[in-house]
Structure 1
């Protein structure tokens, strides 16, 4: 857990789901694909929360979710049996952007990944999110791979 004078970064609880979904839906991409209020989010949260290799985190300001990300640890055989960490779904509420909260969230996730034995941290970001690309590069991430998806 990380805490400043006003914001605490902690593991999400079921009570945070609506706030997390609101953040995910609060941009043009999310608005087209998220469905706030859909009960499937509760089942998804339960699956994430019960998996020891998943960590859904929130930045909490006085009980309000003002940021979120998901950290996934993936053990593998490559890199001599290394564990990789993947950061996904980083969001910061609009009125909190530009104050360093996104950086604190990512740094927190990197610290947790390191503590859990990961040898590298990777992330994906939509190709259209050019501001996010600049943000991640400023934090030291390098665009090293091409990601591909297959909708099912």
Structure 2
């Protein structure tokens, strides 16, 4: 089954992305709301992944992060849809958007439990030390596109 992704272009779609993030980060992982929703949300490019009925079930965003680099952030999949390819679809859609924006390198801060997921998608860990973001252990990762 091909998973449909859409670029967020309306306030309603952005609110759907926020609802997924609230459920995953604020309710499930206890991230403070003021840390989760930030000033970058209205300038970042966002995507939604839709279930077969067309309901948004996963999201992520990308922001410019230096010359030729895009930073993937806020990648979240509703709990009941994990392990079904929605996260992979979101990352793929963000990378495609980034390529169209001229990015050849992608970076992200991965929660340590998600590090193997990103490795399977071609990312490599760039720093051996773990850092805390919103009290959650993370590692820095990157992926450089081949020509």
With normalisation by structure 2, the TM-score equals 0.69
Greater share of residues in helix? 1
Query: What is the rounded CA distance, in whole Å, between the counterparts of 1:96 and 1:69 in structure 2?
Result: 15
What's the counterpart of residue 101 of structure 1? 86
Query: How much is the aligned-residue C-alpha RMSD, in angstroms?
Result: 2.9
Query: What is the rounded CA distance, in whole Å, between the counterparts of 1:101 and 1:138 in structure 2?
Result: 14
Q: 2:105 aligned with 1:120, yes or no?
A: yes
Structure 1: gaps spanning 5 or more residues: 77-81
Instruction: Tell me the secondary structure at the aligned position of residue 118 of structure 1.
Output: coil
- Aligned pairs, how many? 127
Instruction: Tell me the secondary structure at the aligned position of residue 125 of structure 2.
Output: coil
Distance 1:93 1:111, change over 3 A: same
What's the counterpart of residue 142 of structure 2? none
Contact 2:8–2:14, Cα closer than 8 Å, also in 1:
no
Query: What is the rounded CA distance, in whole Å, between the counterparts of 2:8 and 2:23 in structure 1?
Result: 21
Greater share of residues in strand? 2
Aligned-pair CA distance for 1:150: 8.9
Q: Deviations over 1:109-147 (max 9, x none)?
A: 112111211120001123xx41x1111111111110357
Contact 1:86–1:123, Cα closer than 8 Å, also in 2:
yes
Distance 1:98 1:149, change over 3 A: closer
What's the counterpart of residue 63 of structure 2? 72
Q: Which has the larger radius of gyration?
A: 1
Selected match of 1:60 from 39, 50, 54:
50
